Amino acid sequence: MNSAKLIGFEKKRVLTGILFLLPITLIMLVLFIIPVFQTFWLSFRDWNGISAESKFIGFNNYFALLKSDSIRQTVFNTLELFTLGTILINGIALAAAVALDRKGLIHTSVYKVVYFLPTVLSPVVVALIWRAMYFTDWGVIDTILKYVGLSSISRVWLGEPGVVMICLIIAYVWYQIGITLVIYLAGLQNIPVELYESAMIDGAGRLQQFVTITLPLLAPAITINVLFVVVNALKTFDFPFALTEGGPEYFSRVVTLQIYFYAFRGIKYGLGTALSVVYTLFILLLSLVLVRTLGRREEI
């Protein structure tokens, strides 16, 4: 083949490739890409949701958003959910994975399935189960507290502003820990046993082995797990909605719920689209920073 023919061949491949991508791209264009850009566009306009007319109002929606009562609490709740969630899920999953990654254990795969099971259940089901856990009086937590004689600390778990987010996060950790645990286990099983054996011969203790062998070699799994949990926590809607609907008032409302409330309860499209834009930029920026910093740590 001469080079002109080769270039023609490659060009044809690119064109065919574009045809391959066309169907899925069309679906994404109509139901994903265009709506997202419409959100950007609408966030600078005054629109009532029904008429085709809307008026350009600059950054007014964004200023109104800053002045809204619930927004500070909402942002704080989201930060609390994803920072505490990330730390707890990763910390506990890593510890559990190390405990499960032993040759002597009889039922490692059974444990794996058990911890993974909640992840498969739907957010609505898990939320309804945890509603029953937190019920006053006959709920599981209160029943156990009664058994051990600690009824005095019992309260309306999902009804108190200072308590509700903690309760939500505990349930969320329970729900989401399985996948993180499984990824850590897969990472641990990739570490050659010889490394530990030679470290033991050199007289390294358990903790030293963990810090000098396990943690560095687990870096890719840590990167992925942190990213996974952060992104999932920032995207979550169904679970907090079905557990508390953001209540009491707005004390467990996260940003995704707030966007929904702006759209369907109270019909504040301007605030909803402005919040969507800010949130999108925040998530993209945060993922980029996480990929960069965690990725760099991996190379060392």
Partner 1 sequence: MKAANNRKLPQELVLIVVTGIFILPLYYAVINAFKSQANVSLHPFTIWYDTFTLKYISDFFIQRQYLRTLFYSGSITVLAVALIISLCSLGAFPLANVRSRIFRAYYVAIVGAIVLPFEIALIPLVVVLKNLHLSYTVWGIALVHTAWNAPFAIFLYTGYMRTIPRELEEAAIIDGCGMLRTYYHIYLPLIKPITAACVIIFATWVWNDFLVAYVALRNPQQLTMQVNLYSSLGKYLQQYNVLFAGMILVCFPILVLFLFMQKHFIKGLTAGAIKG
Helix, strand, coil fractions of the chain, as percent rounded to 5: 75, 0, 20
Q: How far is the CB of 292 from partner 1 (least distance, A)?
A: 14
DSSP β-bridge partners for residue 46: 55
The whole-angstrom separation of Cα 293 and Cα 19 is 37
- One symbol per residue from 147 to 186: x for binding partner 1 (CB under 8 A), - otherwise; what is it? ---------------------------x----x--xx--x
Q: How far is the CB of 56 from partner 1 (least distance, A)?
A: 17
Stretch that binds partner 1, among 55-63, 70-78, 151-159, 191-199 (CB under 8 A): 191-199
294 binds partner 1 (CB under 8 A): no
Most distant pair of Cα atoms in the chain: their distance: 87
21 binds partner 1 (CB under 8 A): yes
Sign of CA dihedral 99, 102, 106, 107: positive
Cα dist from 154 to 131, 135, 285, whole Å: 15, 10, 41
Return the residues of window 224-243 that contact partner 1 according to CB under 8 A: 224-225, 228, 231, 234-235, 237-238, 241-242
Q: How far is the CB of 58 from partner 1 (least distance, A)?
A: 19
Q: Which residue, chain included where needed, has tokens 């990824």?
A: 183
The whole-angstrom separation of Cα 288 and Cα 255 is 20
**Half-sphere exposure in the Cβ direction for 256 (13 Å, CA):** 17
Q: Which residue, 9 or 162, has its beta carbon nearer to partner 1?
A: 9
What's the one-letter identity of residue 139?
A: G
CB 74 within 8 A of CB 250: yes
Stretch that binds partner 1, among 9-17, 78-86, 158-166, 207-215 (CB under 8 A): 9-17
79 binds partner 1 (CB under 8 A): no
Q: Binding residues for partner 1, how many (CB under 8 A)?
A: 90
Tokens encoding 78: 């989201």
**Binder of partner 1 out of 7, 79, 87, 114 (CB under 8 A):** 114
Return the residues of window 257-276 that contact partner 1 according to CB under 8 A: 259-260, 263-264, 269, 272-273, 276
Cα dihedral: 53, 58, 63, 68 (round 10): 10
Q: How far is the CB of 77 from partner 1 (least distance, A)?
A: 15
27 binds partner 1 (CB under 8 A): yes
Q: Which residue, 40 or 162, has its beta carbon nearer to partner 1?
A: 40
Q: How far is the CB of 245 from partner 1 (least distance, A)?
A: 10
The whole-angstrom separation of Cα 272 and Cα 275 is 5
39 binds partner 1 (CB under 8 A): yes
